[in-house]
Chain A
Amino acid sequence: MESSDGEAVDKRRVHLRPVTLRDPAPVLLHLLPCEVLVNRPAPVGLFFTPAIRQGPDGLEVSFRGRSLRGEEVVVPPGLVGYVMIEEKGEVLLGKQDFSEGMADDEQEERELVEPPEALERDFDRFIGATASFSSFTLWGLETIPGPDAKVRGALTWPSLAAAIHAQVPED
């Protein structure tokens, strides 16, 4: 069922700040076999990473008293993983991010560069990369996720997508 809410969201325009893709710091990621029903920072380095052990059949840890088994998953060659965060608050409509690396006072004096299309409040949103990764740790509940893990399959999509959208020579 399409809610009117959903439609309003669909109409929004999302802009990616290209400059943030240039050199984001690498980060360690963990994909857990559960959903924590909140979106917020968590003290992973205090509670989780120090508890990881190398067991006979892969990495071992526990979360909320449940046993997890994990393994490294590498992002396929030619691809890079990014952690994207939406820029919240009074976001600088019209103030595109072309000014990175400039001193603050310089930035303020600078004339704002208008992008090709006019930006609207509550319509245009911006996301930027805060970190990058070339692998992550995939965790399964009590057993190693293994080669059949959904996310491993998902990672095969980009190469398949490229193949099926490629130009096929005629004849």
Chain B
Amino acid sequence: MDLSELERDNTGRCRLNSPVPSVCCKEPCVLGVDEAGRGPVLGPMVYAICYCPLSRLADLEALKVADSKTLSESERDRLFAKMEEDGDFVGWALDVLSPNLISTSMLGRVKYNLNSLSHDTATGLVQYALDQGVKVAQVFVDTVGPPETYQERLQQRFPGVEVTVKAKADALYPVVSAASICAKVARDQAVKNWKFVEKLQDLDTDYGSGYPSDPKTKAWLREHVDPVFGFPQFVRFSWRTAQSILEKEAEDVTWEDSQTGDQEGLKRIKSYFSKGPRARLPHRYFQERGLESATIL
């Protein structure tokens, strides 16, 4: 898989796709959606769609695609290569969400949680297929969490399409299995060839599975804390594992929207009843500009 566009800049998101098979613009198609790398504290999350005409679904099944988690890495690579060979009726597209994009979304002033980010990305990919002229008739989506509301939302968004959202869809529907293989192949390759944005020397890339439960991953995180900057952008800062390591091993940082509690407010209310002289505030000109007399150095 050619991920050179991601390697050029891995700080945002990156859309990759196969050419659209012309038959997919003529015949009604089935489309599967799945994701890889949702849980890890390291690296990108990849969303993938895979589609083919309903009339060729048996040919896709004949490739013996299966849930990517039940396949070895080499089997996944082999199946992805086969899908590429069948590019005359199988198409795919993916959206690689960098760990930096995940962190900054989840830690935004207005929190954008992982579920919303996932749903919007999946929706964007289905819309992409429609925009390319693919005649999408059925959509199958794998999901974690309750499928009902998700299905309702997708059905509303794509009224002309029959939407099915189901847990473990990647094991039930071959077109979702195929999407899961695309996603997993891309995620593995992206992690393996990750170009660190930071100029870190002799970086040890033995970070285990990337899952927070993996002791190797935790050890890697602890070794790569910078007291000021925290972690390289390869790490999802919004993960609890990352946050708790920073709380212990890095310097505290306060932001203008940090929770300070309402103690300050309480003090101010009480001050109305106190008899002592009120502190003289500097002129508004200085307050508005954040200027104070320097009395200490």
Contacts and interface: CB of A to CB of B under 8 A. Distances in A.
Interface stretch (B137-145, B232-240, B267-275): B232-240
A166 interface: no
Contacts, number: 111
B228 A65 contact: no
A34 B103 contact: no
Contacts of A60: 11
B253 A67 contact: no
A105 B37 CA distance: 64
Nearest to A86: B297
Given A36-B251, A53-B11, A157-B289, A141 B297 contact: no
Contacts of A46: 198-200
Q: Is the interface of B mostly helix, strand, loop or mixed?
A: loop
Interface residues of A, number: 39
B109 A141 contact: yes
B233 A51 contact: yes
Interface stretch (A17-25, A90-98, A111-119, A148-156): A148-156
Nearest to A38: B251
Interface in B81-137: 100, 103-104, 106-109
A65 B199 contact: no
A142 B108 CA distance: 8
A51 B11 contact: yes
B251 A127 contact: no
B255 A33 contact: yes
Interface in A48-90: 48, 50-51, 53, 60, 62-67, 86
Contacts of B230: 64-65
Interface residues of B, number: 39
A99 B297 CA distance: 26
Nearest to B232: A47
Given A46-B199, A47-B229, A150-B288, A66 B255 contact: yes
B252 A37 contact: yes
Contacts of B251: 36-38, 40
A162 interface: no
A102 interface: no
A47 B226 contact: yes
Nearest to A9: B296
A35 B237 contact: no
A16 to B, nearest CB: 11
B264 interface: no
A9 B295 CA distance: 8
Contacts of A141: 109, 255-257
B250 to A, nearest CB: 8
Contacts of A163: none
B254 interface: yes
Given A34-B256, A50-B197, A141-B257, A64 B237 contact: yes
B229 A48 contact: yes
B226 A43 contact: yes
Q: Top 3 closest A-B pairs, CB basis? A: A65-B237, A65-B103, A153-B289
Given A38-B252, A46-B198, A66-B255, 14 more contacts: A34-B253, A34-B255, A36-B253, A37-B253, A40-B227, A51-B233, A65-B237, A86-B297, A141-B255, A150-B289, A150-B290, A153-B289, A154-B290, A157-B289
6 contacts: A37-B252, A43-B229, A66-B103, A67-B108, A141-B257, A153-B290
